[in-house]
């Protein structure tokens, strides 16, 4: 892809999971609470940037999108003239508000370190195929968890598809098609090459389809890890860091023989995935994204928790997957 961000210095894509944005035990987090959680990760990202890394930061938005759709629906129930927000616009809304939050927190943290690192949030569209089988089998959780009775009532009243999110309750599911192309990739690349870190592909990007030469939004939520791997590949970065709820990848997770993985090769990761070690609802999509990035020319993947970001970048914490 011509002149990629890989050309200068140390480059990484940092994919912030939901728990780097809001606490897991909170059903509806206020903007202020989300800010406090984001600031903890931002301090570590600023430290990494001080060590000479240029980063593109991606993030999840499942809870935020779900909450916004719920607010929109309640407003519509209250006043039928108030139109409901479509899913692609809810993606754009939350991408903007979270991008603002992350960019500001990182900028503030780097100023506190005596530096002024440039960082910008880019509202990003990601192309999907309207014939993707995901549209016939929605699997992506959005919004809060409900008890069984409330979930049944919502599915009858609103036509929502509901599935059980293990250990949490029943949640709305929407289509999660495969990301094919990042519309703003050339702009992101230019910013990275100018030394600007970027918050991008928020929530996996705003899903759009091509209609001839034009783009049009579609009702879906793209998996953040898949979109982050595509971004990392297109930018030609060295490292893809996926920040999640656990400090490491584990084999036989939450079983008596649970063991920590500190390093594995991409073929080992594929073998464990095929044996069912990494379920779809948890570590599966991250391992798939790691394999995709490494198979497409990436050198290294880091998986760790928000409190271990800087130590992970130094190679002291987390799980490394290498080609």
Q: Is 286 annotated in the active site? A: yes
Q: Is 161 annotated in the active site? A: no
Q: Which of 99, 143, 189, 286 is catalytic?
A: 286
Q: Which of 17, 19, 60, 62 is catalytic?
A: 19
For 277, list phi and psi in degrees, rounded to 5. -70, -30
Cα 179 → chain centroid: 13
Helical segments of the chain, H only:
31-50, 62-78, 87-112, 148-158, 185-193, 224-235, 266-274, 284-295, 309-313
Q: Which one-letter DSSP state was computed for residue 256? A: T
Residues 45/115, Cβ–Cβ less than 8 Å? no
Contacts for 84-92: CB closer than 8 Å, 24+ residues apart = 86/217, 86/219, 87/174, 87/219, 87/220, 87/221, 88/206, 88/207, 88/208, 88/217, 88/218, 88/219, 88/220, 89/217, 90/65, 91/61, 91/65, 91/203, 91/205, 91/206, 91/207, 91/221, 92/123, 92/206
Q: Which of 66, 67, 224, 308 is catalytic?
A: 224
Sheet holding 125-127, edge to edge: 181-182, 125-127, 206-211, 214-217
What is the Cα–Cα distance from 300 to 310, expressed in whole angstroms?
A: 16
For 252, list phi and psi in degrees, rounded to 5. 50, 50
Q: Which of 140, 204, 236, 317 is catalytic?
A: 140
Q: Is 224 annotated in the active site? A: yes
Q: Is 263 annotated in the active site? A: no
Question: How many helices, marked H, and strands, marked E, lie in the chain?
Answer: 9, 17
3-state secondary structure of 280: coil
Active site members: 18-19, 140, 224, 286
């Amino acid at each position: 892809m011509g002149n990629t961000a890989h050309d200068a210095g140390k480059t990484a894509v940092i994919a912030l999971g939901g728990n780097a944005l809001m606490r897991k035990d909170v059903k509806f987090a206020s903007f202020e609470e989300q800010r406090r959680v984001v600031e903890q990760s931002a301090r570590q990202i600023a430290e990494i940037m001080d060590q000479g890394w240029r980063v593109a930061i991606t993030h999840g938005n499942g809870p935020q999108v779900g909450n916004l759709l719920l607010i929109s629906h309640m407003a519509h129930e209250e006043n039928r003239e108030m139109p409901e927000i479509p899913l692609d616009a809810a993606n754009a809304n939350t991408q903007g508000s979270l991008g603002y939050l992350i960019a500001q927190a990182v900028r503030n943290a780097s100023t506190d370190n005596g530096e002024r690192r440039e960082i910008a949030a880019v509202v990003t569209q990601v192309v999907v195929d309207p014939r993707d089988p995901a549209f016939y089998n929605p699997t992506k959780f959005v919004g809060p968890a409900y008890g069984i009775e409330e979930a049944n009532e919502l599915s009858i009243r609103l036509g929502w598809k509901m599935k059980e999110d293990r250990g949490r309750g029943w949640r709305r599911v929407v289509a999660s098609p495969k990301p094919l192309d990042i519309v703003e990739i050339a702009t992101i690349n230019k910013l990275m090459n100018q030394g600007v870190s970027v918050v991008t592909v928020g929530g996996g990007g705003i899903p759009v389809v091509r209609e001839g030469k034009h783009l049009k939004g579609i009702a879906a939520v793209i998996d953040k890890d898949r979109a982050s791997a595509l971004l990392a590949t297109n930018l030609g970065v060295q490292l893809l860091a996926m920040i999640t709820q656990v400090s490491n990848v584990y084999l036989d997770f939450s079983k008596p023989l649970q063991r920590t993985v500190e390093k594995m090769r991409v073929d080992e990761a594929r073998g464990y995935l095929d044996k069912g070690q990494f379920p779809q609802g948890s570590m599966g999509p991250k391992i798939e994204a790691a394999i995709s990035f490494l198979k497409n020319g990436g050198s290294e993947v880091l998986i760790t928790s928000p409190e271990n970001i800087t130590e992970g970048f130094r190679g002291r914490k987390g799980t490394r997957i290498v080609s």
